Amino acid sequence: MAGTAVLGGLRWLVATVTELRDETTTARTIVLDVPGWPGHQAGQHVDLRLTAEDGYSTERSYSIASASHGEHIELTVQVVPDGEVSPYLGRVLAVGYQIELRGPVGGWFVWPATSSPNPTVLYAGGSGIVPLMAMVRARALLGSAVPFRLVYSARRPEDVIYGDELAGYAATDPGFTVSYVYTREGPADSSRRPGRIDEPTVSHAEFGRDSDVFVCGPNPFVETVTRLLGKAKHDPRRIRTERFGSQGGTS
């Protein structure tokens, strides 16, 4: 179960863009129709292969944002201004375009859905929300009552991805809560001064030290959260991380 790569290899599939949604000024969701898609676990990613007309080709990995549901997947791409691939995906790619991908990839940073009755805490830093959103959506799709808490760190309220959908779950599902940490600028009515995630925001005492924790974001964010969890004596075997960027890099 854990290793979901298909025996005999992961084939390259041809996906067609069926919808594009701007989530923020710099993040865009790409809905893909992928004939032959085998399904995925929440938290897994895909490898995309982009090929220019002269045959130059490059690959990148992107987390899947959607819960497994037929042969459609959704990716949410944060445009990195000086990137080679994300500006293409975020600004050039259009409905009807085709792109090669293979997956799903990764069998560790996944929410085990039905096999896990454990309360689960998700810590998202910036676009690290994407694989965690797949977990939130998978739980909703299953109608699972497993308690979920999402702590989402963003620079400003306008940088929050999936805000309305998350508010909808929080309003209708007593088992799901979401709280925000703003690092640069918070809403006017916020009692917390803007700043990086800290001890008061990294606490989920009522979930217990053996709850499952998923942390995804820029490396400094993940380091801070896991260090504070260690200080709170959270069971390290229950903490799964996925990181991007380098040591001491900024979000």
Partner 1 sequence: MPLVTPGFKGRGRSSDPKLPPGQYLVTDFPVLSAGPTQRVDTPDWEFQVKTETGKVTSWTWESFRALPAERFTTDLHCVTKWSKLGTHWEGVSLDNLLAGIETAAEFVLVRSYGGYTTNLPLADLLGGKAWIAYRYDDKDLPREHGGPARLLVPHLYLWKSAKWVRGLDLRTDDQPGFWESLGYHNYGDPWQEQRYWGD
Binding positions for partner 1, rule: CB under 8 A: 2-10, 12, 14, 47, 49-53, 55-61, 84, 88, 92-94, 97-100, 105-109, 219, 223, 226-227, 229-230, 236-237, 239-241, 243-247, 249
Q: At 5, is the secondary structure helix, strand, or coil?
A: coil
We find the least distance from the C-beta atom of residue 164 to partner 1, in angstroms, to be 30
Q: Which is nearer to partner 1, 138 or 213 (CB)?
A: 213
CB 47 within 8 A of CB 81: no
The tokens describing 150, both together, are 């999402």
Identity of the residue, 14 or 145, whose beta carbon is nearer to partner 1 in the bound complex: 14
**Smallest distance, Å, CB 59 to partner 1?**
5
* CA 139 – CA 169 distance, rounded (Å): 11
Closest distance of CB 107 from partner 1, Å: 4
Between 60 and 155, whose beta carbon lies closer to partner 1? 60
Sign of the dihedral defined by the CA atoms of residues 36, 38, 43, 48, in that order? negative
* DSSP letter (8 states) at residue 130: H
Do residues 84 and 57 make contact, with C-beta atoms less than 8 angstroms apart?
no
CA distance 212 to 202: 14
Q: Which is nearer to partner 1, 183 or 241 (CB)?
A: 241
